[in-house]
Amino acid sequence: MEYHILAPRTLDENGRALYAPYGLAKVEAALVAAGFRIEDVIITPPEKLEKVVDKDTEILGIHTVDPQGLAPVSWTLRVMTGGGKTCTALEFEKLMEKVKRLKKRYGFRVVVGGPGVWQLRGREDRFGIDVVYDGEAELDFPLLVKKILGGEKVPRYVAGRIVPPDEIPPIITPSRNGLVQITRGCPRGCQFCKPTTFFFRSIPLDTVLREAELNARTGAKVIEFVTEDVLLYGAKGLHLNGEAVKKLFAETYKAVKSYGVEQITFSHITLSSALVLKDAVRFISDINGLSEKSPIFPQVGLESGSPRIVAKYFRGKPYPWKPEDWPWVVVEGSKLLNDNYMYPCLTYIIGFPDATPEDYVRTTELIDRLVEEGFRGWIYPLFLVPIGGTRIEKRAEFMTWEEIPQEAVEAIVAGWEHSIRFSEYIYPVLLRGLKNPLIRKIVNALIGEALDAMRTWIRRIKEDPRIVKSFSEINIRDKKTALKIMTRTMVTQAPRILKRRIAAST
Ligand code: SF4
């Protein structure tokens, strides 16, 4: 599933990636802009390393997002399923074993970069890493490469400087999933967040259009803007600029429509920005032709329902409203998004350092209010992770079930229960793209089984969170177990599908 459906490889005959993860495409563009020849830089996936690496290879750069499974979603799912290694950690370790073997044979240098490098500090020797590169690539990564090639001694840890927006070159290799970055950094200053530690900038429209056009020309049907908040585009600090946002969507649409692009979507949006720029939210919905049958699913930070926690850890997020207005901002902002066919994934945090049972009760109350208002979207709890470089890092701990009160468990359950109900409502819409009726039936059955299993899982956690220990004993990588689950799914779900079909035809 992972290799063939979620991450299919698209390579040319030399093992060069035809579509690259966005961060790697940016690094390649930075090297070429700094004078390296494109023939001397190659982006390739892990399983092609043996084909691509040889005696001429001088530097092997590795991009990583979550090498030890400590990113918030991975950590949360680990805690909720009783521990074990994440697929991200497993893949990284497999990759580094291979890299160490090749390094021994050819003697190249290994540089690791990307948003997950904070997880690798102190583990460099274990993985055979020569340099950990932290931060933006455009200014300092080409300098580092030149130094290594020139035989100079380089430090083990390099922090890349913040790059002025007009010195960020557009990508040359199309990005996977049609990604195009439109902003870097965020001015809201939440204490648990890494992007806010970068100075906020909007990427020049010309660069955005060139990247969008490249992705569209090479087959992307959706252009996805990468941003911490799409409505920050063109803003000066927190003074938003609705006209810049509308122009961004209108010009991008003009640049890509002849290639058959169906949607211009985005990764994140902030509810307070949405309430300030209602007009721009409607504009984005209209230009994309969003509807009940064709919604989008941005990610949104709810974080907590307690104004005390808001004031202490993320008081910039409700701006121009105050921390005590946050529950209102969440409810009204969510309604606005839903009215414009944006069904967000609202994430909230369990485990702020001094959160009290009362704070968790406020969060559960806010979730209940959203549910009463008919909120369409997921409400997803995340255990707090002290991400390296954030303001909260030194004061926070990795949270587990042992450290949280029963009220926090109830807040987690409230979010999951709603998310399961919403998944049940939305998955037929998501599956419409599957044209093959047999595949659709199989996927339908698997999702039905998965949602049933999740409902049981959440019910058992509500009774006693220690139950997760027994979940951790299931080895889903074992082929026999996987086959057993698939067979049981088909047997148990078949009558249900049949019943649904009969109900539909009558
Ligand atoms: S609003 Fe989002 S991106 Fe901005 S600082 Fe807060 S968590 Fe980070």
Structurally, how many domains does the chain consist of? Answer: 3
Counting ligand 1 atoms within 8 A of each CB, the residue from 182, 193, 232 with the most, and so the one to mutate, is 193
Range of the domain at 497: 441-505
Q: Is residue 422 part of a domain?
A: yes
Q: Decide whether any atom of ligand 1 lies within 6 Å of the 188 Cβ.
A: yes
| Ligand 1 midpoint to CA 414 (Å) | 24
Same domain as 286, residue 156: no
Same domain as 390, residue 279: yes
What distances in angstroms separate CA 44 from CA 20, 94, 99, 263, one per listed residue?
Answer: 8, 16, 13, 28
| Ligand 1 midpoint to CA 201 (Å) | 14
Q: Is residue 300 part of a domain?
A: yes
Q: Decide whether any atom of ligand 1 lies within 6 Å of the 196 Cβ.
A: yes
Same domain as 81, residue 8: yes
Which segments of the chain have a pLDDT < 70?
1-2, 476, 489-490, 492-506
User: Which of the listed residues 433, 468, 497 is the one where a domain comes to its end?
Assistant: 433
Taking the CA of residue 314 as reference, the ligand 1 atom at the shortest distance is: 6
Same domain as 377, residue 249: yes
268, 276 Cβ separation under 8 angstroms: no
Taking the CA of residue 317 as reference, the ligand 1 atom at the shortest distance is: 1
Q: What is the pTM for the complete model shown? A: 0.91
Q: Is residue 303 part of a domain?
A: yes
Counting ligand 1 atoms within 8 A of each CB, the residue from 182, 188, 271, 390 with the most, and so the one to mutate, is 188
Q: Is residue 87 part of a domain?
A: yes
Counting ligand 1 atoms within 8 A of each CB, the residue from 182, 190, 201, 392 with the most, and so the one to mutate, is 190
Same domain as 246, residue 186: yes
pLDDT for res 506 = 47
Q: Decide whether any atom of ligand 1 lies within 6 Å of the 170 Cβ.
A: no
pLDDT for res 85 = 86
| Ligand 1 midpoint to CA 51 (Å) | 41
Same domain as 178, residue 86: no
Q: How far apart, in whole angstroms, are the C-alpha atoms of residue 208 and residue 230? A: 13
User: Which of the listed residues 103, 134, 162 is the one where a domain comes to its end?
Assistant: 162
Same domain as 366, residue 333: yes
Taking the CA of residue 192 as reference, the ligand 1 atom at the shortest distance is: 7
Same domain as 420, residue 293: yes
pLDDT for res 492 = 67
What distances in angstroms separate CA 285 from CA 282, 288, 470, 488, one per listed residue?
Answer: 5, 5, 45, 41
Same domain as 463, residue 419: no
pLDDT for res 11 = 84
CB neighbour list of residue 218: distance below 8 Å, 6 or more residues apart = 18, 19, 174
Q: Is residue 169 part of a domain?
A: no
Q: How far apart, in whole angstroms, are the C-alpha atoms of residue 382 and residue 76? A: 6
pLDDT tens-place string over residues 379-390: 999 999 999 999
Same domain as 262, residue 360: yes
Q: Decide whether any atom of ligand 1 lies within 6 Å of the 270 Cβ.
A: yes
Q: What is the dihedral of CA 258, 262, 267, 270, to 10 degrees?
A: 100
CATH number at residue 262: 3.80.30.20
Q: Is residue 385 part of a domain?
A: yes
| Ligand 1 midpoint to CA 197 (Å) | 10
Q: Decide whether any atom of ligand 1 lies within 6 Å of the 246 Cβ.
A: no
Same domain as 184, residue 242: yes
Among protein residues, the one with the nearest Cα to ligand 1's atom 2 is 228
Q: Is residue 167 part of a domain?
A: no
Taking the CA of residue 194 as reference, the ligand 1 atom at the shortest distance is: 8
| Ligand 1 midpoint to CA 270 (Å) | 8
Counting ligand 1 atoms within 8 A of each CB, the residue from 314, 326, 385 with the most, and so the one to mutate, is 314
Taking the CA of residue 303 as reference, the ligand 1 atom at the shortest distance is: 7
CB neighbour list of residue 5: distance below 8 Å, 6 or more residues apart = none
| Ligand 1 midpoint to CA 189 (Å) | 6
Same domain as 392, residue 296: yes
Counting ligand 1 atoms within 8 A of each CB, the residue from 198, 228, 276, 382 with the most, and so the one to mutate, is 228
Q: Is residue 467 part of a domain?
A: yes
272, 190 Cβ separation under 8 angstroms: no
No. of helices (H) and no. of strands (E), the chain: 17, 12
292: left (phi over 0), alpha (psi -120 to 50) or beta: alpha
Among protein residues, the one with the nearest Cα to ligand 1's atom 6 is 190
CATH number at residue 141: 3.40.50.280
Q: Decide whether any atom of ligand 1 lies within 6 Å of the 190 Cβ.
A: yes
Q: Decide whether any atom of ligand 1 lies within 6 Å of the 66 Cβ.
A: no
Q: Decide whether any atom of ligand 1 lies within 6 Å of the 169 Cβ.
A: no
| Ligand 1 midpoint to CA 407 (Å) | 26
Identify which of 354, 387, 404 has the alpha carbon closest to the alpha carbon of residue 115. 387
pLDDT tens-place string over residues 40-67: 999 999 889 999 999 999 999 999 999 9
